[in-house]
Amino acid sequence: MLQLVVGPRIRKSPYFDRSLAAGATHFSIYNQTYLPLGYGDPIGEYWNLVERVTLWDVAAERQVEITGPDASAFVQYLTGRNLSKFVVGQCKYAPMCDYEGRLVNDPIITKLADDRYWLSRADGDLLRWARAIAGARGFDIGCVDPDTGPLAIQGPQADDLAAAAFGEWVRDIRFFRFEEARVGAGIPVIVARSGWSKQGGFEVYLLDRTRAHELWDLIVESGAAFDMGFGGPNPIERIESNLLSCGVDNDDRANPFEVRLGGYIDLEMDADFVGRDALAEIVARRVERELMGVYLEGDEADLTAPWPAFAGSEPVGSVRAAARSPRLDRTIGLALLGVAHAGVGTELRVETEAGPRAATVTDLPFIP
Amino acid sequence: MLQLVVGPRIRKSPYFDRSLAAGATHFSIYNQTYLPLGYGDPIGEYWNLVERVTLWDVAAERQVEITGPDASAFVQYLTGRNLSKFVVGQCKYAPMCDYEGRLVNDPIITKLADDRYWLSRADGDLLRWARAIAGARGFDIGCVDPDTGPLAIQGPQADDLAAAAFGEWVRDIRFFRFEEARVGAGIPVIVARSGWSKQGGFEVYLLDRTRAHELWDLIVESGAAFDMGFGGPNPIERIESNLLSCGVDNDDRANPFEVRLGGYIDLEMDADFVGRDALAEIVARRVERELMGVYLEGDEADLTAPWPAFAGSEPVGSVRAAARSPRLDRTIGLALLGVAHAGVGTELRVETEAGPRAATVTDLPFIP
């Protein structure tokens, strides 16, 4: 067992003490912030998410705030997603690539005003990356971490819980839309219908860090009526649903076309963006790999580094993540495979940490 | 106690299994890689470092390799340190700033050839940061992580141990110089006289990851004659010696002049570099804060987030890191303070996690 050192280099979420008091035991570090991942009952936490409702401290999902006269032009320059119809009040998933077309991060962009955006970042230093590009290309923007510590309420009962905690108005928030509001005794928040699961729910951004315990307690108190559980971003459900884990499913050289994000890249739009030329070349040449599902023989799912995949003796890619699916009662994985061996039904051999296993390629998602 | 999850998002050092087998218990994540920090006896590990010799798995100190026709010009563009006299075989400490003059990272640069450099990075995504700047400014370079997993041998007996393990030739390596060699049964390495302590020693870069266990075992077997201990980057010794911990001692807005790195910035050189204009302005305006030592009343040193510092009721900065020094038998800290309250002898009040403590400003380092 590895004990995680708590020291001054890593940031604490504003809910850190509350997560510990609620029983969080298993942590990682994400965006240089402690991220509670588990409370000691992974299967129970999974069922809470898919059948009831669960509360996650995802303050580690830090924001990059972009402001100023060039904010809109700059945010468009960072992503190949066409943002020309992006309206205030909306969120958009926006893969970002480097100048070579490699996927760097896949934030959700929240448009707070015509000159104010948040990039809700996956693990990686998107703040300094964005500042580097802005400085090198002369964009007139401000770029800071607004420290807005989000909580996620996820699961089929998320609407009922959020309505009880915040008010019935939350039910009217559409998918990937948000509302700014005061909840409880006037706690300033932004409530967005979003989150890293396919079970429905909200992300709640806190606009006054000093009121974190109050916000947490408000949700927990309302949650008692709903069998609410505590949890964290769920590694089983996200594989079942094929939600990309950036930095896990893609390796350092992967482009968005290889990991099923090609639909977000608009090579026809007028606006220039980082990696455009490289991505156009990749498409012209042809995409070499594809992210696919695999069913794995047996129940070994303890993957701590990619498992090499073989067709006969030929290396054809790797399994990037694996889980035992309680709903499917099967072992499933996400594999980045050469296109010649990515067809549904292809039989592969995978070198797991517990020895070789047979694997069969399948389509994604495992559970729609 | 926080249990660290081992999963596919974070990389394992090539020595990960060996560190665990040697008894590593306390870990952090650094550059998205597991970093063993302790073996359960922090004071014993400290004395091993300052009186004997200690082996650290610092593979988390990952390298950024810069190659190609523009490599030298690009590396110079990344840092305000004047590299005009940089020769192959040498290492140079090189603070790097963003376009606003904020300190981003403080790697040691190793010059492997006129067109090949390694940047030995502090925690943070220097790889993608460098790629962003190269792409945005059109430098013709290659930029990859060469996965060279360094080990550190640190302490007053480091020369004797390294000579026993690798050969007498290591004694001739000068400070911040390196030699490429084959050691043991032909393991390819680069041995540099460097390391994140002031106790002397080497960093050993492994050029063939498959031979990691062999290299580890070679050092450990030779270490038996020297009372070698296992350890990790030492939070006590580095405060005593005032070795900057980038991202700890500096906050997000700190510039190099505030944290005693001004001597590395050459605003007079011909070459342009990232942040030059901003740094010139900062110097012209005047530097507002200074990193100083503080002696703290009592023995509270368990700092997990900066401790605010006050002169009377006025906030004047913060203590960034603290430790109980066994050699000084005092509690010491590093404080980033407004210059008006940074004079040696200034009396401050510090809000620690265990309550207020008196503090007295002192010069650095605590132990030369």
Looking at residue B82, its amino acid is N
DSSP element (H, E) containing B112: strand B108-113
Q: What is the side-by-side strand order in the sheet with A26-30?
A: A33-38, A26-30, B3-4, A3-4, B26-30, B33-38
Specify the 3-state DSSP secondary structure of A134.
Answer: helix
pLDDT at residue A254 above 90? yes
Q: B230 has which bridge partners?
A: B55
Looking at residue B339, its amino acid is V
Rounded Cα gap, residues A280 and A286, in angstroms:
10
Rounded Cα gap, residues B208 and B210, in angstroms:
5
pTM: 0.97
Rounded Cα gap, residues A13 and A36, in angstroms:
9
- Percent of chain A residues past pLDDT 90, beyond the cut: 99
Specify the 3-state DSSP secondary structure of A183.
Answer: strand
Query: DSSP letter at B90?
Result: B
A219 with A161: CB under 8 angstroms?
A: yes
Asked if A8 lies within 8 A of B304 by C-beta distance, the reply is yes
Asked if B32 lies within 8 A of A123 by C-beta distance, the reply is yes
How near does any CA of chain B get to the CA of A203, in Å?
Answer: 23
Six token digits for residue A82: 């066409």
pLDDT digits (tens, 9 = 90+) for A7-36: 999 999 999 999 999 999 999 999 999 999
User: Residue B1 has what pLDDT?
Assistant: 87
Query: DSSP letter at B254?
Result: -
A274 with A316: CB under 8 angstroms?
A: no
Q: Whose CA is closest to A29, among B33, B52, B158?
A: B33
Using an 8 Å CB-CB cutoff, list chain B residues near A41: none
Using an 8 Å CB-CB cutoff, list chain B residues near A306: 8
A128 closest CB neighbour out of B7, B32, B98:
B98
User: Residue A265 has what pLDDT?
Assistant: 98
How near does any CA of chain A get to the CA of B68, in Å?
Answer: 16
Exposure of B346 in the CB half-sphere (CA atoms within 13 A): 23
Residue A134 makes CB contacts below 8 A (sequence gap 6+) with A74, A141, A143, B99
Residue B284 makes CB contacts below 8 A (sequence gap 6+) with none
Asked if A28 lies within 8 A of B9 by C-beta distance, the reply is yes
Q: Whose CA is closest to B146, among B229, B206, B211, B74?
A: B206
B304 closest CB neighbour out of A6, A98, A132:
A6
Asked if A136 lies within 8 A of B131 by C-beta distance, the reply is no
Residue of B nearest to A250 (CA): B9
Asked if B320 lies within 8 A of A247 by C-beta distance, the reply is no
How near does any CA of chain A get to the CA of B167, in Å?
Answer: 35
Whether the ω angle into residue B95 lies within 30 degrees of 0, i.e. cis, is: no
B151 with B204: CB under 8 angstroms?
A: yes
Asked if B123 lies within 8 A of A9 by C-beta distance, the reply is yes
Residue in this structure with the two tokens 């819980």, named with its chain if needed:
A161
User: Residue A1 has what pLDDT?
Assistant: 87
How near does any CA of chain A get to the CA of B160, in Å?
Answer: 32
pLDDT digits (tens, 9 = 90+) for A67-116: 999 999 999 999 999 999 999 999 999 999 999 999 999 999 999 999 99
Using an 8 Å CB-CB cutoff, list chain A residues near B16: none
Q: Whose CA is closest to A144, among B251, B144, B65?
A: B251
A4 closest CB neighbour out of B27, B134, B306:
B27
B99 closest CB neighbour out of A2, A10, A135:
A135
pLDDT digits (tens, 9 = 90+) for A310-359: 999 999 999 999 999 999 999 999 999 999 999 999 999 999 999 999 99
Whether the ω angle into residue B365 lies within 30 degrees of 0, i.e. cis, is: yes
Using an 8 Å CB-CB cutoff, list chain A residues near B133: 132, 136
B132 closest CB neighbour out of A5, A8, A129:
A129
CA-to-CA dists, residue A71 to A64, A107, A120, B222, angstroms: 12, 16, 16, 58
Q: What is the side-by-side strand order in the sheet with A142-144?
A: A91-93, A108-113, A116-120, A63-67, A142-144
pLDDT digits (tens, 9 = 90+) for A148-168: 989 999 999 999 999 999 999
**Judging by beta carbons within 10 Å of its beta carbon (0-12, 13-18, 19+), is residue B127 exposed, middle or buried?**
buried
pLDDT digits (tens, 9 = 90+) for B332-364: 999 999 999 999 999 999 999 999 999 999 999
C-alpha B188 chain-centroid distance: 24
pLDDT at residue A56 above 90? yes
Rounded Cα gap, residues A27 and B180, in angstroms:
39
Six token digits for residue A106: 């896949």
Using an 8 Å CB-CB cutoff, list chain A residues near B12: 304-305
**ipTM beyond cut 0.85:** yes
Using an 8 Å CB-CB cutoff, list chain A residues near B100: 131, 135
Asked if B4 lies within 8 A of A28 by C-beta distance, the reply is yes
Residue of B1, B4, B273 to mutate for A, most A C-beta atoms under 10 A: B4
User: Residue B144 has what pLDDT?
Assistant: 98
Asked if B128 lies within 8 A of A125 by C-beta distance, the reply is yes
Q: B189 has which bridge partners?
A: B181, B206
Residue in this structure with the two tokens 């005009």, named with its chain if needed:
B84
Six token digits for residue B210: 């498959």
A-B contacts at Cβ under 8 angstroms: 150
Query: DSSP letter at A13?
Result: P
Rounded Cα gap, residues A341 and A110, in angstroms:
38
User: Residue A145 has what pLDDT?
Assistant: 97
Ranges of chain B whose pLDDT falls below 50 = none
How near does any CA of chain B get to the CA of A326, in Å?
Answer: 19
Six token digits for residue B105: 């990272």
How near does any CA of chain A get to the CA of B245, in Å?
Answer: 8
B28 closest CB neighbour out of A10, A129, A305:
A10
User: Residue A287 has what pLDDT?
Assistant: 94
